[in-house]
A and B are shown apart, each in its own frame.
Chain A
């Protein structure tokens, strides 16, 4: 581990320690409570009926037989959904459709019954007559004038979104470039595959206030969505409590609210009973949202020395039939496009296009993996064209601390150069060649200090101490397995001189926890961490005030450590912190210690030109990989993988490694095996046998060197690291395959079939010459 800032070699008691995840024991004992495990008294079971066509008019729905079935409490169709109840920021998606359906995952009816079996039987009894309409499944064709419209009212399949920027003068820079590479890349649908499937339980109290237990990464924004739904239902000025149980994986999938949650609300209101909707695996594949598939056109140029001169990118994103956060991924794609390496002249234009396919959502990396695939693949091609070493071209153009990128990103700390060093240390990139074996390298930039995509990028924390030296901290942040519980506890324990076991982290209940924009953009350690730190600092100040009186010492000369407050230059003068707390509490005008803090980072919303410092700090990394390509079968085997990241400071290296290992293997799946296969809009591989995830047998041990740059704005210097692991994986692999066998694959995933076809093409081209 290299620490670039000599001033930060301060000894910590808790920060930087490999402390196991706080809820690991209850999970390892089978005692953790997921949505799957929650039962409420009188609970009914909801099921959703999906449509049978990609695009069709609903001619008739007959629910009479379903309603007549014993045990059925409610049957809803699109007619029962209030007109204004629509999901997504584009508000184009009612939770149950009426009139027409636009994709196979469209909800057409829902049932609540006393058992899941009866609910399912009731769905089978619903009779629907459809009139099939021509579908459109290729986003480029959907842009053509005579293409069928997915939504007639929208008048065009192209969404009205502003994804366009131009800084510098790309045309001029291109003319002046010595070398230019121009290519087309395509990326596929992949999906989160959270092991815990989606589910929610909704219930109303007698005053029509809603409580919803749901798998979410955004308790506060989900609360807002549900409040809007209640309003649409005529329930104004009601309260919504969102409780997130322990969730079986997030990865971006739970960043929006889904139809099943709003349907659970409608059913619970109709039945006046708690209603639970649980997805099975097939539903999880078919009815949750994917990563956004893209068609990418890219041009990059450099001068004769290898210095990047311009980058010009154009993308078409398959939006699917409805709009969720997937359509906003271009705002994050802009980050690598404008700011990965120094490049002054950049142009980007993205169009999100309605099709009758499934709609996309947020997924780890949020557009960055797609853009970085094209950028880093063409960078290798450019290096080759210019006759420059591929590591050298990356060093030459690397970002550096103090840079302001064309988009206005202020690079505070940057360990990209050191990350490249670490990759070279662990893996010989340009060693002697063995047949079929090759190496590849690719870098990344990502937001590491929040991301002001929403109006607020803030997070609140409330901290209280009891009479026994214990802390309860209520954070707006959400733990979904990544370890925000530990990060919060470690930060508070360090600041207050306590042990981690003294800190109880309460999260994900909107009745008791403050607001937070959500667990996204790798922001939780930075933003929720700073919120916790802010609250701890306030309480610490009060402890020091009391300590100053009780120990008769200058507060500046007091230290909190090992549950004790003592005088720095006279350590004999000390008092256990719990005793101090009791003295504060049980004295005239007694006081119990508590504090709140709302941290909203000093980052900027991007204006119309998409200029602004989106994040307070940026995370960097470089990945190196060695692969073996079997030229007979086209199969690619990963032999060695190094993922070096600039993390500011590792608050908990154990959990940090877990984020990197998990991110990289997710990225390997993206690069090599994973794809939601569709035929005319229909998901053809909605199961774990046909959707190919890496297993323990396929994965390898990843090396994850950590570069600590100590970011001045991060809590104890830390930056975010949730997403970077999966960002440059695909181009690193593609570059390694090219190095191994001389073929470049432009279309993800890089399956054996594609490699074989490329090898065959290369062979026939060589024979012709």
Chain B
């Protein structure tokens, strides 16, 4: 199989990379571009750890071919923060204890970020539905759901929003 040169736009930077036709976007991100924030946990689209955005929509990068990612804006977890300045959602994950082992965190953040862009004030049920494709084994989800609900939208009753102030 021949390698092909493609151009990808990742986190607002354009990069040229040599790929095989069957390379997944996740493989290219992790192995060729050293963007290791996106994680592989199942490799078959069942756990959500590899979620990235293509033109703002969450996709499973383990099921997306790198070839298919040409001509769109790709955002990975590394692109959520502005330099070292965390996004409201990232900060909320930290403040609410939504990060334990952290392996699901990048994918969770990308799914939640896409939801909040569409619906900045989602209710509990909407959040749980939007995150249903992202598996977490550590947290029991409670703190993740809170973190999403309170991102940029602190609540007076929430101890973690309070202690973050």
Which residues of the other chain, A, contact B134 by a CB distance below 8 angstroms?
695-696
In the complex where A30-B106, A193-B137 touch, is A24 in contact with B128 (Cβ < 8 A)?
A: no
Is residue A576 within 8 Å, beta carbon to beta carbon, of the partner chain? no
Taking chain B's interface residues, is the majority helix, strand, or loop, or is none over half, making it mixed?
A: loop
In the complex where A662-B140, A688-B42 touch, is A249 in contact with B128 (Cβ < 8 A)?
A: no
Contact with B along A647-661 (1 / 0, CB 8 A): 000000111011001
Cα distance, A37 to B106, chains bound together (Å): 14
Query: How many B residues touch the partner, as a band?
Result: 35 or more
Which residues of the other chain, B, contact A657 by a CB distance below 8 angstroms?
97, 142-143
Which residues of the other chain, B, contact A654 by a CB distance below 8 angstroms?
96-97, 160
Is residue A280 within 8 Å, beta carbon to beta carbon, of the partner chain? yes
Cα distance, A653 to B159, chains bound together (Å): 10
Is residue B64 within 8 Å, beta carbon to beta carbon, of the partner chain? no
- Decide if A658 touches B101 in the complex (CB within 8 Å): no
- Of B76, B78, B103, B129, which is within 8 A of A196 by CB? B103
- Decide if B143 touches A661 in the complex (CB within 8 Å): yes
In the complex where A18-B163, A194-B137, A658-B138 touch, is A696 in contact with B128 (Cβ < 8 A)?
A: yes
Q: In B128-165, which residues have CB < 8 Å from any A CB?
A: 128-129, 131-145, 159-160, 163
Is residue B86 within 8 Å, beta carbon to beta carbon, of the partner chain? yes
Is residue B104 within 8 Å, beta carbon to beta carbon, of the partner chain? yes
- Decide if B99 touches A28 in the complex (CB within 8 Å): yes
What is the minimal beta-carbon distance from B50 to any residue of chain A, in angstroms?
11
- Decide if A666 touches B132 in the complex (CB within 8 Å): no
- Decide if A249 touches B143 in the complex (CB within 8 Å): no
Cα distance, A481 to B101, chains bound together (Å): 4
Which residues of the other chain, B, contact A568 by a CB distance below 8 angstroms?
none
- Decide if B93 touches A36 in the complex (CB within 8 Å): no
Is residue B116 within 8 Å, beta carbon to beta carbon, of the partner chain? no
Q: In B45-84, which residues have CB < 8 Å from any A CB?
A: 46-47, 49, 76-78, 80-81
Q: What residue of chain B has the Cβ atom nearest to residue A704's Cβ?
A: B142
Which residues of the other chain, A, contact B76 by a CB distance below 8 angstroms?
30
Cα distance, A29 to B11, chains bound together (Å): 13
Query: How many A residues touch the partner, as a band?
Result: 35 or more
- Decide if B93 touches A195 in the complex (CB within 8 Å): no
Which residues of the other chain, B, contact A695 by a CB distance below 8 angstroms?
131-135, 141
Cα distance, A694 to B138, chains bound together (Å): 11
Which residues of the other chain, B, contact A482 by a CB distance below 8 angstroms?
100
Q: In B9-61, which residues have CB < 8 Å from any A CB?
A: 30, 35-44, 46-47, 49
Is residue B120 within 8 Å, beta carbon to beta carbon, of the partner chain? no
Cα distance, A659 to B7, chains bound together (Å): 44
Is residue A591 within 8 Å, beta carbon to beta carbon, of the partner chain? no
In the complex where A25-B94, A28-B109, A654-B97 touch, is A195 in contact with B131 (Cβ < 8 A)?
A: no
Which residues of the other chain, A, contact B90 by a CB distance below 8 angstroms?
25, 28-29
- Decide if B99 touches A18 in the complex (CB within 8 Å): no
Is residue A231 within 8 Å, beta carbon to beta carbon, of the partner chain? no
Is residue B8 within 8 Å, beta carbon to beta carbon, of the partner chain? no
- Which of A20, A27, A687 has its CB near the most chain B CB atoms (within 10 A)? A27
- Of A249, A251, A688, which is within 8 A of B103 by CB? A249
Q: What residue of chain B has the Cβ atom nearest to residue A479's Cβ?
A: B101
Which residues of the other chain, B, contact A280 by a CB distance below 8 angstroms?
43
Which residues of the other chain, A, contact B135 by a CB distance below 8 angstroms?
193, 195, 688, 693, 695
What is the minimal beta-carbon distance from A292 to any residue of chain B, in angstroms?
19
Which residues of the other chain, A, contact B44 by a CB distance below 8 angstroms?
281, 687-689
Is residue A453 within 8 Å, beta carbon to beta carbon, of the partner chain? no
Which residues of the other chain, B, contact A20 by a CB distance below 8 angstroms?
94-95, 97, 99
Cα distance, A33 to B30, chains bound together (Å): 12
What is the minimal beta-carbon distance from B147 to any residue of chain A, in angstroms?
10
Q: In A672-720, which residues have CB < 8 Å from any B CB?
A: 687-689, 693-697, 699, 701-702
Cα distance, A29 to B43, chains bound together (Å): 21
Is residue A394 within 8 Å, beta carbon to beta carbon, of the partner chain? no
Which residues of the other chain, A, contact B95 by a CB distance below 8 angstroms?
20
Q: What residue of chain A has the Cβ atom nearest to residue B106's Cβ?
A: A30
Is residue A34 within 8 Å, beta carbon to beta carbon, of the partner chain? yes
- Decide if B46 touches A248 in the complex (CB within 8 Å): no
- Of B40, B105, B124, B144, which is within 8 A of A36 by CB? B40
Cα distance, A25 to B109, chains bound together (Å): 12
What is the minimal beta-carbon distance from A34 to any residue of chain B, in angstroms?
7
In the complex where A654-B160, A661-B143, A696-B127 touch, is A23 in contact with B102 (Cβ < 8 A)?
A: yes
- Of A31, A195, A666, A699, which is within 8 A of B104 by CB? A195
- Which of A29, A30, A280, A281 has its CB near the most chain B CB atoms (within 10 A)? A30
Which residues of the other chain, B, contact A281 by a CB distance below 8 angstroms?
41-44, 47
Interface residues of B, Cβ cutoff 8 Å to A: 30, 35-44, 46-47, 49, 76-78, 80-81, 86, 90, 93-97, 99-106, 109, 124, 127-129, 131-145, 159-160, 163
Sorted from nearest, which 8 A-B pairs have the closest CB atoms? A30-B37, A481-B101, A27-B102, A248-B103, A661-B140, A665-B140, A30-B77, A195-B103
Provide 25 A-B residue pairs closer than 8 Å at the C-beta atoms, listed in order of the A residue.
Answer: A21-B94, A24-B94, A24-B97, A24-B102, A28-B99, A28-B105, A29-B86, A193-B137, A196-B39, A248-B41, A249-B103, A250-B101, A281-B42, A281-B44, A661-B142, A663-B140, A689-B46, A694-B141, A695-B131, A695-B133, A696-B132, A697-B131, A697-B132, A699-B128, A701-B142
Additional A-B contact list (20), CB under 8 Å, known A248-B41, A695-B141: A20-B95, A21-B94, A27-B102, A36-B40, A194-B103, A195-B104, A196-B101, A247-B101, A249-B138, A481-B138, A658-B97, A666-B137, A687-B46, A688-B44, A694-B141, A696-B129, A696-B134, A696-B141, A697-B131, A702-B140
